[in-house]
Structure 1
Amino acid sequence: MRCLLLCLLILPNLLRAEDLEVDVELFLAVDVSRSMSPAELEIQRRGYAEAITSPQVLDAIAHGLLGRIAVTYVEWAGEYSQRVIVPWTLLSTREEARAVAHQITARFDAGLRRTSISGALLYAAGDFEHNGFHGLRRVIDVSGDGPNNQGRPVTRARDAALEAGFIINGLPLMTTDALSQIWGIPDLDIYYQHCVIGGPGAFVIPVLDWDQFANAVKRKLVLEIAGVTPQIQPVQFTPPVAYDCLIGEKMWEQNRAYFDIP
């Protein structure tokens, strides 16, 4: 019996020891909720593909301690709506980067309903297990154009991920259109700071215009791969003393009549 218990304790570590060590395991969680137009969804895919194959990102990978990272690209919307576009993949060479970029842009899918940042965080945290890699850092990178409005409160999912040792960074999409007037909030960068991100060196890079998207992703990836903490201040708002991290859920209740069937 004692031998059996010892084997059960040692076995997970033995399995983990077989994983390939990388500088960082990077989970790219990309919002595809229906508040984003088909054109915006395409801009996102092309922006990530451009950033991943950029000289700056490849140089950041090459100058890491091990010179390689692991990456996955997953689109998310509602609580249980996660779509894997690129499964966990080794990224260390220009050829591997081009292969990942090709997977991202091979086709362009339609958006999905609702916005559950908490669902994306919970899915991401579980997806690291048994992915075949062991990173010196484990980073969940969340982009999104609105606050959480489905699933458990985002702070609960964030706190669980932080307790498990993850770093969460944010790319709030603060572009404006007719849908953002209904479902968006003007201080989304502050929402991400207070309610979404966390861990050593966590940061937010806001995007105010779609023309900025590819460069923002490139900068974010370089910082995440290099493990550098940027000095980024909120774009246009001063953080309040307290912040209502349930604002998205309250907005959904207020605006859900848009989706109710008569």
Structure 2
Amino acid sequence: MARLVGLIALLFLALPATAQERKEVDLALVLAIDISGSIDPDEARLQRQGYVEAFNDPVIMRAILGGNHGRIAVAYFEWSDSWIQKLLIDWTLLDSEAAIADFRRRLSDAPISISRRTSISGAIRYAIPMYGRSPYDADRKVLDISGDGSNNDGGLVTETRHDALKERIIINGLPIMNGRPNPFGFPAEDDLDKYYLHCVTGGPRSFVEVARSFEDFPRAIRKKLLQEVADIGPLNDFDIGELGTTRDGVQLAQSGSGGARRTVKADDDYTRFVRPEYELGCDVGERRSRDFWQRRFGVTPD
């Protein structure tokens, strides 16, 4: 018996350090932020500052630290064209107020850049393997995508969404409804909220939180982030402003929405948790892009 115990101990010591030190976290959250050409530098700064402020909110901080494991893991990247994804912060453990403050500082100090096209599918494709190389074991895996336009590059978003859902990654969306044509002349997308709901999001309790403008983005991201961290799912009438004390954050993280809801099972097929087909078609962004380029320049983009 002693010999067997000794062999087990030797095998454990032979494991890589990462295998021995993997920590359990309540949530592995990837934040994916649109920096396509429809977003100007001021709007990009508003987005970035919205996330910085959200991670400084006392309710959200207490929710992060108040779950079963008392910690979450977060990564942050910005995206545009199908081949452009900029990883600003790789997997980071948020297990204390000091760790959260350091994450805010790194995010605030990172440079801001703008690219060209809008590839939500490229962002999802980039994010999927991030979870596989995460050094943490997560109870939940969530991909948080924000943007101000529909997919127009890099393949159909529904196909890459399906790939993510097969890996049990929940996708939530934050469409920014800015109500104006973008700098290239593309018309405003008044149906972007419906597009995100039907074509981008998926998985158990996935949801869309709408920002009615870039100025509204800080409010929207605070509300959305709290729902994701606390796993309270979609609540149309939920208002973070009603949570006046840090105690509420702990309660939300520990008890969820507080009401009866369907329990997610280990063998659930996440690909079944999608909304019905979008009436305009989930390739509407690609079609609008082709039509625009054809009318304006007499060519279609590659």
TM-score normalised by length of structure 2: 0.76
Count how many residue pairs are aligned between Structure 1 and Structure 2: 245
**2:216 alignment partner, one of 209, 212, 215:** 212
Q: What is the alpha-carbon distance in structure 2 between the residues aligned to residue 71 and residue 28 of structure 1?
A: 7
| Uncovered stretches (5+) of structure 1, i.e. residues with no partner | 1-11, 234-238
Report if the CA contact (8 A) 1:162-1:199 is conserved: yes
Report if the CA contact (8 A) 1:24-1:137 is conserved: yes
Instruction: Specify the alignment match of 1:98 in structure 2.
Output: 101
Q: Deviations over 1:58-102 (max 9, x none)?
A: 011122111100001100001010001111100122211111111
Q: Deviations over 1:3-34 (max 9, x none)?
A: xxxxxxxxx9x976742210000000000001
1:109-128 equivalences under 5 Å are 109-128=112-131
Report if the CA contact (8 A) 2:88-2:110 is conserved: no
Q: Indicate whether 1:245 and 2:282 are aligned.
A: yes
**1:140 alignment partner, one of 143, 148, 152:** 143
1:1-262 equivalences under 5 Å are 18-179=21-182, 182-232=186-236, 242-256=279-293
**Residue 214 of structure 1: how far off its partner (Å):** 1.1
Report if the CA contact (8 A) 2:33-2:146 is conserved: yes
Residue type at the aligned position of 1:219: K
Residue type at the aligned position of 1:73: Y
Q: What is the alpha-carbon distance in structure 1 between the residues aligned to residue 280 and residue 60 of structure 2?
A: 34
Describe the shift of the 1:111–1:225 C-alpha distance in structure 2 as closer, same or farther (beyond 3 A).
same
Describe the shift of the 1:17–1:163 C-alpha distance in structure 2 as closer, same or farther (beyond 3 A).
farther
Q: What is the alpha-carbon distance in structure 2 between the residues aligned to residue 259 and residue 175 of structure 1?
A: 25
TM-score normalised by length of structure 1: 0.87
Instruction: Specify the alignment match of 1:7 in structure 2.
Output: none
| Uncovered stretches (5+) of structure 2, i.e. residues with no partner | 1-14, 238-275
Residue type at the aligned position of 1:101: R
User: Could you say what secondary structure the match of 1:96 adopts?
Assistant: helix
**Residue 241 of structure 1: how far off its partner (Å):** 6.8
**Residue 184 of structure 1: how far off its partner (Å):** 3.8
**Residue 172 of structure 1: how far off its partner (Å):** 0.3
Report if the CA contact (8 A) 2:144-2:171 is conserved: yes
**Residue 260 of structure 1: how far off its partner (Å):** 8.3
Rg larger for? 2
Q: What is the alpha-carbon distance in structure 1 between the residues aligned to residue 286 and residue 128 of structure 2?
A: 22
Identity of aligned residues (%): 38
